[in-house]
Amino acid sequence: MSSILTNNGAMVALQTLKSVNSSLSDTTSAISTGKKVANAKQNAAVWAISKTMESDVNGFKSVKESLSLGESTVAVARNATETVTDLLGQMKERIVAAQGDNVDRTKLQAEVSDLRDQIGSVVGAAQFNGLNLVDGSTASTDVLASLDRDNAGNVTASSITVNGQDLSSGGYTANDVFAAGGGGATVSGNGDTFTNSLDAGNNDTITIQDGATPWAAGDKITLNIGDQQASYTVTTADLASGTPADVVAVGLKNAIDNLGIAGMTVDYDSGTPGQLDITNGGTTDMTISGQFKNAGSGGLADLANIDVSTSGGATAALASIEGLITTSIDAAAAFGTVESRISTQSDFVGKLSDSLTSGIGGMVDADMEETSARLQALQVQQQLATQSLSIANQAPQQLLSLFR
Residue 304 carries which side chain, given as an amino acid letter?
A
User: Each residue's pLDDT tens digit in the chain (404 positions)?
Assistant: 666 677 777 788 788 888 888 777 777 877 777 777 777 877 788 888 888 888 888 888 889 999 999 999 999 999 999 999 999 999 999 999 999 888 898 899 999 989 988 998 899 899 998 889 998 878 889 999 988 888 787 888 889 999 999 888 765 455 667 775 554 444 444 556 777 777 788 888 888 877 666 777 777 788 888 778 888 888 878 888 878 888 888 888 888 888 888 888 888 877 777 888 888 888 888 888 777 777 666 788 778 778 898 888 888 888 889 989 999 999 999 999 999 999 999 999 988 888 888 888 878 777 777 777 887 887 888 888 788 878 777 777 777 777 76
Contact 285, 80 (CB under 8 A): no
Q: Which value, in Å, is the radius of gyration of the alpha carbons in the chain?
A: 41
What pLDDT does 187 receive? 45
Domains of the chain: 48-168+309-356 (1.20.1330.10), 178-295 (no CATH)
Question: The whole model's pTM is what?
Answer: 0.59
